[in-house]
Amino acid sequence: MPQFHLIRHAQSANNVIHQKLSFEYQQDRGKIRPIEARMRHHDPALSACGYKQAENLKNTLPTLIDEHSLIICSPMKRALETLIPSLATCRQKGATIICHGLIYELGGCYHMQNTFPGITKDELLLHFDSCVSVPEAGWYANHQHRETKEELGIRLLSVATWLTKKMQENQYRNIVLITHGAFMARLLRHIVQMPHDIWISHANTGITSFLWDKKDGMLLRNINNTQHIPTELRTGDSLQDGWWPAVSKRDFVIHTLHHLEKDHQVLFQEIQNILGAQKTAIKITPKHICIAAFWGWKLTGFVIVNTMRNEHSAIFATQETNNTHTSLLQTALRTHLPTITHAAPIVYTNI
């Protein structure tokens, strides 16, 4: 019966973005989500702190393995970069090191509504003995959309079945997975059939270890072990890192955003595309503010305001935006232009 070690990747550039926004918006997940969705990278590298964490992990990871060990790494760049400093020592100890194309983070390789193929199989084979479930063109090349909850459930079952088979082969004494916080939590919940509202958070490079046998069950030896991480390098498992509340829900939120072109470039381009499609000429300058409404991460409505000239555009909204949401946009507009006497016209568009 092998011992399993689940290791979360070191801090990524996306993790830093979340920390910054969490501080700015006082951990309000509804406010954070639409801004973060536009700032994140589809397959980020490690942060400066993350590279230090990966260097630190190379002192611990080799102690978990021997020549009868299997190391399985996610195909995402942040997981690969977490493993790279430890590769030489792990190979010297005789471990088998592979990439599994299905242990990526929830959602896949995406930004907003766009997907990306990810690192190619040939590029991954420069670091690994072999690859499992990785298409030639990239580990996410066969996907045309962000992963759904239903697809995630199928993937979890596939990974758990594959791990069970490896366990039953009785070839390895230790099996190490270098993967991702949300995926680790859901994989553990899947294995032990925990309710969906129980969440297990992991620090960057935190380790959860357990014995797992199909017949005898699971013995959790430790959860989120961080003893190997210096205090100044510990990140990723605080409330500010987005692990609470445990059940994520979509919220309707309104943002008042300044310096749209400079500070919110992706949203600026979204709005420019909408205005162009409506043949509406509005030159958005640093003097303008944008009052934007979001449902989850999706833009559902906006109005452009020039408070210095007491001017505003129409409210642009999706067909799905209900009257309550447009009323809230009207109220937000009157907050910035209290002297206006008429409601702003509403233009429905395909945002």
Tell whether pTM > 0.85. yes
pLDDT at 217: 78
Tell me which residue of 323, 262, 319, 318 sits closest to 290, measured CA to CA: 262
pLDDT in tens, 44-70: 999 999 999 999 999 999 999 999 999
pLDDT of residue 350: 81
What's the confidence (pLDDT) of residue 4? 95
48's tokens: 């400066």
Cα separation of 187 and 200, whole Å? Answer: 10
**Half-sphere exposure of residue 146, counting CA atoms within 13 Å on the CB side?**
11
The pair of three-digit structure tokens given for residue 134, joined into one six-digit string: 């990785």
pLDDT of residue 149: 93
Ranges of residues in the chain whose predicted pLDDT is under 70: 214, 247
The two tokens of residue 130 are 């072999």
Q: What is the pLDDT of residue 6?
A: 98
Alpha carbons within 13 A on the beta-carbon side of 242: 21
pLDDT at 199: 85
Residue 23 near residue 195, CB atoms below 8 Å? no
pLDDT digits (tens, 9 = 90+) for 238-250: 888 888 777 677 7
Residue 141: partners with Cβ closer than 8 Å, 6 or more residues away:
117, 118, 135
Count Cβ atoms within 10 A of the Cβ of residue 238 and give its class: 0-12 exposed, 13-18 middle, 19 or more buried: middle
* Residue 243 confidence (pLDDT): 82
Residue 223 pLDDT: 94
pLDDT in tens, 127-149: 999 999 999 999 999 999 999 99
Reduce the DSSP state of residue 143 to 3 states and report it.
coil
